[in-house]
Each structure stands twice: as structure tokens, then as C-alpha cells.
Homo-oligomer: A and B are copies of this chain.
């Protein structure tokens, strides 16, 4: 069972937006055993959309389009579907009622003819209810291929997938299980890992696929397999991962698929009833922001300090300017002070602090570009480490955030309750 995702809209092709919808769709489809064979992004242009639909219908059994369902003239998807299916638009009264309801409840401007056109759908389609917006999804079948059309607005698309599309796909198709397990490693490059695990990789059964995914100081190893018996697939992958541990157990730091590192941290902190606070300089609030993204974060995230400018270290943290001058603003000493201050200020169990020089210039600091200090403070004391994360601003920042999350995770794991 293969699917193709077709995203419609010039904004993706000219780089005005990043296509995050496709990643969400890929994940959701994989979970119910549907493999995404291809993602194709096309312009708002009838002929190109039709050609792409034709080509895709030869490649796959399921086509999901996103975008082009808005009320304005640049939205061509419904018109194009009518041409493609030799169909016409007819009024769907339930959809119209829903649109009127949204306008009554949430919109301060009156409902317009353009809004009402959103209730007209191809006669061959089944409407999929869009609780968050005025553009319904559509489901059309032809020659054994299922076509689903969804709006491009991410939260509307996501709720339609969860509430309408996935349940119908599960009912409509018998699919195998597609299982991925991703082992996260820190500390070695991909070729060094490949060298260490060569024998293990050679002995992997043909139906298990291995991929190396390097990213900002981590290498993830993804194992993928598929079949009809979920338990058996998991068991087989877990056996392989047990074997893998014999080769590189010292650099394996967990798994990615079920939970992200932040989600793991959130779950562990909540379980252990531990709290955290931050004091961020070069990471500018990104550590706190990542943790706060998790629903229920107020159970463990007390708060944070961002001391970006040098003066903020003196003003907000109360570090004497002579101390800053003596050690330089990017230094082990200042980072330790920041972590201690955050711990005291927020009464947290753990405080993490970062200072660093992400570039492009050295600024007020004496440290080389790429230098980052990370300190962890708890009631027992403070630990600080110096890192060197290269010379590219974005990379330095993200490596610092990733490393900080790893250190937090390690701290929690070692922490006895």
C-alpha cells in the first residue's frame, strides 16, 4: 500500500514557506502501515496539477493533496479536481451551515459570497468535516485509487487527518505494520560508527533497512521493517538492537521514535516530581522554549532567565562587572554563576546555564567563535563543561541546545529519587 503526497502552492516552490505538512502526513500514514512513496510539490497551475495526479495514480494507491482550498481566486484545487474527474461542484448544505456557524461565532466581519463558495464540492466527493476552518476535506475514489484533498493550513490539515482521514483509511484498507526504531548515539561520526558495526550491519536480515542520520552532533541509526505481526516485528528489531549494543553500547543514548528527547525529559521529570529552570545566553531561550512546547510543562518547568547582552549578566544576575571583566562573559565562571542564580531564583531541582559565542563576530567575549560553556547546578553542586561547536552560527546554537538537553537527560537518569 503506497501513497503519494502532492502539495499545491507556489509558496512552497519559491521558498516562502517550509513544507512541514508532508512530514506530519508521512508519520501518520506510516503509523497505519501506509508507505509514502513520493512527495511532489507543484505550482498553483491546473495543467501541472492534473499531470501530477495522473502520474501519481500510476504509482500509488492513495493520493493526498494539500492546499488550494481557500476562498480566493488563487485557490484552484476544487476546480482542478472537477476537470480531472469530469465532475461539477454542488452545494453541500451541512458544510454551508458549518461555515455560517464559524462566522457567527468567531469572525467579526460578515459572511461573503466567497466564503459560501467553500460549501460547493465536487459531486463525486465525500466531504470531510473541518472543525477548525471553513474549507472541508474531500474523499474521492476512482479506479481503485483513493484521492484525499486537505486544506494547507497546518492545524486544519492535522485535525482532519486525525479525526476524519485516519479512521476512514483504517476501515478501507488492510495494511501491514511499518515499524521504525531509531537509536540515538552521541559522540562519534557516521563513518566511525559504520566501521564499528560493520559485522552487525552485514548480518542484518534483508527485510530490515538501516539508515544513518547525522544531525548537529548526533548520529541516529534508523531500523525499519514491515510485516503483518506487530509484536513479532518489534521483537525482531529489539533483538537486533540488543546485538547492536554489544558493538556501540557506550554511545547509545536512547531511542527517538516514541518520544523526542524533550518529551522523554518531560515525562521523567514529571514522574520523578523534579523541576527545572534555565539561564540562557547563547541559546537565547531555546532550551526553555523546547521544554515549554510540551503540554503539561508547567508541572516541571519553573522558568528561566535569558541574559543575552553582557549588561544583563550584571543587571539581572547580579554578577559584579569586575568578575565578568576578569573571566570574560563567555567563561566557565560566569556560566556557573548563571546556573546557581537560576537555581536560587526559581527554587528548582536542576538549573542549566549556557554561555557561548555563536558568531558571526566575537562581540564582547574573548572566547573563540563556536565555544560554548554549559553548566548544571543542583543542590549538590555545579558542573561545567566547555564545548567547541564549529564556526557556523545556526549550528553552534542548535548543537548547544541539543547538548544541553542531553546533559539534562543524563542528570535525570542518574538522579535517585
Interface size class of A (residues with CB under 8 A): 35 or more
Segment of A23-31, A121-129, A141-149, A165-173 engaged in the interface with chain B: A23-31
A212 proximal to B (CB < 8 A): yes
B284 touching A306, Cβ below 8 Å: no
A289 touching B284, Cβ below 8 Å: yes
CA A129 – CA B306 in complex, angstroms? 38
Q: Given B18, B40, B75, B190, which contacts A19 in the complex, CB threshold below 8 Å?
A: B18
A11 touching B308, Cβ below 8 Å: no
A163 proximal to B (CB < 8 A): no
A289 touching B289, Cβ below 8 Å: yes
> Given A38-B40, A40-B38, A285-B288: A30 and B18 within 8 A (CB)?
no
- Please indicate which of the listed interface residues A109, A112, A191, A278 has the most CB atoms of chain B within 10 Å of its own CB: A191
* Residues from chain B with Cβ under 8 Å of A302 in the complex: 308-309, 311-312, 315
A-B contact pairs, 18 of them (CB 8 A): A10-B209, A10-B224, A13-B26, A13-B37, A18-B19, A19-B23, A38-B43, A38-B52, A40-B40, A74-B210, A284-B291, A295-B393, A301-B309, A302-B308, A303-B306, A306-B306, A315-B345, A316-B346
- Nearest CB in chain B: distance from A131 CB, A: 10
A298 proximal to B (CB < 8 A): yes
Closest residue to A281 on the B side, CB-wise?
B303
Interface of A is mostly: mixed
A286 touching B284, Cβ below 8 Å: no
* Residues from chain B with Cβ under 8 Å of A13 in the complex: 26, 35-39
A41 touching B38, Cβ below 8 Å: yes
A304 proximal to B (CB < 8 A): yes
B304 touching A309, Cβ below 8 Å: no
> Given A285-B286, A307-B303, A309-B298: A19 and B16 within 8 A (CB)?
no
CA A12 – CA B41 in complex, angstroms? 13
B30 touching A15, Cβ below 8 Å: yes
B191 touching A115, Cβ below 8 Å: yes
* Residues from chain B with Cβ under 8 Å of A236 in the complex: none
